[in-house]
Structures are given as C-alpha cells and as structure tokens.
Amino acid sequence: MSKRKQQGLDWNRGAQLRALNEYPFPKRLRGYGRPVSRATAASVLRMIDDHQREKEEAWPSLETMAACVRLSTKTVQRAIDALRSIGLVTVWNETTKRGHPLLKVAINWDVVFGCRPEPKPKRARRPGARKKNRSATHRPGARSTKNPEDTVAQPEDIETDPEDTVSLAPYKNRPENRTREASPPSPPKVSSASAASWEEVEEELYRRGVQAYDAAIRSASRFVDADHVLAIIAAFDQLRTPSWRPGALFVRVQKARTWLEPTDGWVNGEQQQLDFDREQQLAIERQQRERVESLSDSEFREIVRCNETLQSMARMYHSLADLRRDATAQKIVIQELSRRQETLQ
C-alpha cells in the first residue's frame, strides 16, 4: 500500500471567509469622492483575498481586477480607495525593474476580525397595531351584543354649557397652509476637465514632438483628467535628459494613473523611443493595409493601371535622352506623352 503525502490544510481559512462575509460595511462608502455600494466593496475585497491566498500581498492589475468582478476599472479604483479609507486594506505603489508601475494591496485581517456584526434589533410593531386586551372591561354607553337592553347615548341627551369653548392654545405654533414659492434654479455645474483643457493638452503634446497625441490622450482619459496630464508634461520638461525623446513622453502619458505621481514611472528614454518608433511604424503599416483592403476591385485595377502608365511614361522619358539628335522623333514622343496625360486627366 503506497503512502501518499497528506496535503496541508488551512484551518484559519473558514474563519477568514466567515469574517469577510459577515463584515459590517458602513452604509455610506466613498472612493475618490464618488459613492461605492457595499456589494461592490465586498466583491473587490473577496477578489483581493483570492489573489493573496498563499502570500501576504496581491498585485493584480486594475484590468485583471475589473475582469474578475465584471466591473469597470474606474469602479474598482473607487472600491479600493473606499476599502483603504476604512482601514480594511493597505495600498502602496512600487516600480518594477523595467519601470512599469505596480499596485500592491494587502488585507488587514486584524481589522476584519476585530469588527463583529451588531446583533439584529427586534422587529418593531407595525404603527397603528394594537395589542389585544383579553381582560376588556365594560364601558358605559357602549353597545353590547350580549345584552339587548344596553343603549348608546344620543346627541340630544348630551348636556353642554354655553360657556364651553374649544381652546386653540395647543395649535398656536402650527404653520398656516401657504402656497410654496418656486425656488430659484440652481447654477449649472462646471466640469473640472473641460474640452478646452484637453485641447490644451493636445497643443502641448504636439509642441513637444508627439505626433500620435490623440492615441495617448485616448488612453490617459480613461483614468486621469487633463490637469494630471499637464502635470506629467511639466515633469517631462523638468526631468528631461538628452537621451529622452518625444517617445518617452508618449509612453508615460499612456501609462498615466491617478495613484501614480507625475514624477514617477519614467524609464530609459532611448528604449521608450525605440518602442515608440516601432509602434508608429506598425501603425503606418496597419493603416496602409486597411486602406488597400477597403478598396474595391475596380478601384484596385484603376490604381494598377495608373501605376503601369506612369512607369511607361518614365521609360519614355529615359529613352528621350537617346533621341536628342532626332527632332522628329522628339516631337512624336512629346505628342504621345501629352495625349496620355490628357487621357489620365
């Protein structure tokens, strides 16, 4: 009988999962100034726990987190900031050897185990519901179904005093029913990242030699605003070395994140420029290939015919040098060239 090595068991795993599932989140969670639901925060917290099962920290990318919980990257960012604000997780930033930004997250189990859910309060009685009184006493003047001789007092049997009046003292502070006046309209909200700011970013990038500024702005606008990109451009002007070319600024703007400072994340400018030139060449080739694929058969044949005509005209121009002594031949060639140019036009 073969002896198999018994797998190790994590006896604390059940307690950890129970503590995560029963953690009493606050009613109002906010991340980066925006509200975050408790269900979203719980999903992101469970996902971080899955990534750090055997380690003390987790460093998945925001795209990986968003794919795991099926949310957008901005929502995951807000959820992590909300968890950090209540002390459930610790977040810090690092940079790899190749200069790529790295986000690290760790769960504070002391906080998770230290907060126990409050006991549920007893169910309150429904407003208006009365408790049954089993020992009800007989009230004089009330109709009874058991004794038909019981009667109810009539209005004419009630004796009143002429001096009896109704006092309005308890209602002296009661407001009158007045028509509500229409409140003035609230001023329109002004967005911090306006279109003019992004136009300024385009102008600054183009001024520094970044030709594909639209691609860089499209990538950065998903995570940061225009002011953050302008701060990155200012850091580029401050930290720039002779080896840094526009490709370094292009790659840094593409990697812009809210938790990454503008002065961080810069790497060797020569390598970034090589990557930038390679991406530009691939983009040009892709555009040419897409332009050729989008042509119809008739347009493609017309382009081929024009190309052949231009090649034949070039050959005729070269042969014209050999016919300089023959004026008649030169006239014939010139007439033929003019006729072909008219047909092409």
- pLDDT tops 60 at residue 27: yes
Closest CA to 252 of 227, 261, 243, 194: 261
The answer to the question of residue 179 being in a domain is: no
Q: Using 50, 70 and 90 to split pLDDT, how confident is the model at 342?
A: confident
The torsion region of residue 236 among left (phi > 0), alpha (psi -120 to 50) and beta comes to alpha
35-66 pLDDT, tens per residue?
Answer: 999 888 888 888 888 877 655 566 677 888 88
- pLDDT tops 50 at residue 2: no
Based on the fold, state whether residues 265 and 312 are members of the same structural domain: no
- pLDDT tops 50 at residue 67: yes
Which of the listed residues 293, 309, 335 is the one where a domain comes to its end? 293
Which of the listed residues 267, 293, 319 is the one where a domain comes to its end? 293
Based on the fold, state whether residues 220 and 307 are members of the same structural domain: no
Q: What is the model's pLDDT at position 123?
A: 62
Burial of 229 (0-12, 13-18, 19+ CB in 10 A): buried
**266 versus 82: which is more confidently predicted?**
82
Q: What is the model's pLDDT at position 92?
A: 84
Here the contacts of 205-210 (C-beta below 8 Å, separation 24 or greater) are 205/233, 205/249, 205/250, 205/253, 208/233, 208/236, 208/246, 208/249, 209/245, 209/246, 210/246, 210/249, 210/250, 210/253
CATH of the domain at 46: 1.10.10.10
Based on the fold, state whether residues 100 and 84 are members of the same structural domain: yes
71-112 pLDDT, tens per residue?
Answer: 888 898 899 899 999 888 888 888 877 877 777 888 888 888
Average pLDDT rounded to a whole number, residues 295-316: 79
Q: In the chain, what percentage of residues exceed pLDDT 70?
A: 63
The answer to the question of residue 323 being in a domain is: yes
Radius of gyration of the chain (CA): 41
- For 41, the 3-state DSSP assignment is helix
Q: What is the model's pLDDT at position 310?
A: 81
Q: What is the model's pLDDT at position 329?
A: 65
Q: What is the model's pLDDT at position 54?
A: 56
CA atoms of 31 and 84, how far apart (whole Å): 9
Based on the fold, state whether residues 23 and 80 are members of the same structural domain: yes
- For 95, the 3-state DSSP assignment is strand
- Give the structural domain span for 43: 13-114
Which of the listed residues 57, 79, 114 is the one where a domain comes to its end? 114
Q: Both tokens of residue 50?
A: 């899955």
Based on the fold, state whether residues 210 and 288 are members of the same structural domain: yes
The answer to the question of residue 123 being in a domain is: no
The answer to the question of residue 125 being in a domain is: no
- pLDDT tops 70 at residue 128: no
Mean pLDDT across the chain: 72
Based on the fold, state whether residues 287 and 325 are members of the same structural domain: no
Q: Using 50, 70 and 90 to split pLDDT, how confident is the model at 191?
A: very low
Please give the angle made by the CA atoms of 209, 211 and 215, to the nearest 5 degrees: 130
- pLDDT tops 50 at residue 6: no
- pLDDT tops 50 at residue 240: yes
Based on the fold, state whether residues 302 and 282 are members of the same structural domain: no
CA atoms of 44 and 83, how far apart (whole Å): 9
Q: What is the model's pLDDT at position 188?
A: 39
The answer to the question of residue 186 being in a domain is: no
Based on the fold, state whether residues 279 and 241 are members of the same structural domain: yes
The answer to the question of residue 7 being in a domain is: no
Q: In the chain, what percentage of residues exceed pLDDT 90?
A: 1
Q: What is the model's pLDDT at position 195?
A: 43
Whether this model's pTM surpasses 0.75: no
**179 versus 332: which is more confidently predicted?**
332
Q: Both tokens of residue 257?
A: 């994140």
Stated as kind and residue range, the H or E segment containing 289 is: helix 269-294
Q: What is the model's pLDDT at position 189?
A: 42
**317 versus 33: which is more confidently predicted?**
33
Closest CA to 12 of 51, 41, 54, 44: 54
Going by C-beta distance under 8 Å and a sequence separation of 6 or more, which residues neighbour residue 90?
84, 105, 106, 108
Residue in the structure block whose two tokens are 């002011």: 227
Q: What is the model's pLDDT at position 55?
A: 59
Q: What is the model's pLDDT at position 173?
A: 53
The answer to the question of residue 29 being in a domain is: yes
Number of domains in the chain: 3
User: 58 - beta bridge partners?
Assistant: 105
Based on the fold, state whether residues 226 and 280 are members of the same structural domain: yes
Q: What is the model's pLDDT at position 187?
A: 42
Closest CA to 109 of 8, 23, 11: 23
Q: Using 50, 70 and 90 to split pLDDT, how confident is the model at 176?
A: low
Q: Name the E strands within the chain.
A: 29-31, 34-36, 89-95, 101-107
The answer to the question of residue 84 being in a domain is: yes
- For 181, the 3-state DSSP assignment is coil
Q: Using 50, 70 and 90 to split pLDDT, how confident is the model at 177?
A: low
Based on the fold, state whether residues 22 and 105 are members of the same structural domain: yes
Cα–Cα distances (Å) from 335 to 180, 285, 314, in that order, read: 91, 40, 15
Q: Return the half-sphere exposure (C-beta side, CA atoms, 13 A cut-off) of residue 326.
A: 11
CA atoms of 36 and 34, how far apart (whole Å): 7
Q: Using 50, 70 and 90 to split pLDDT, how confident is the model at 32?
A: confident
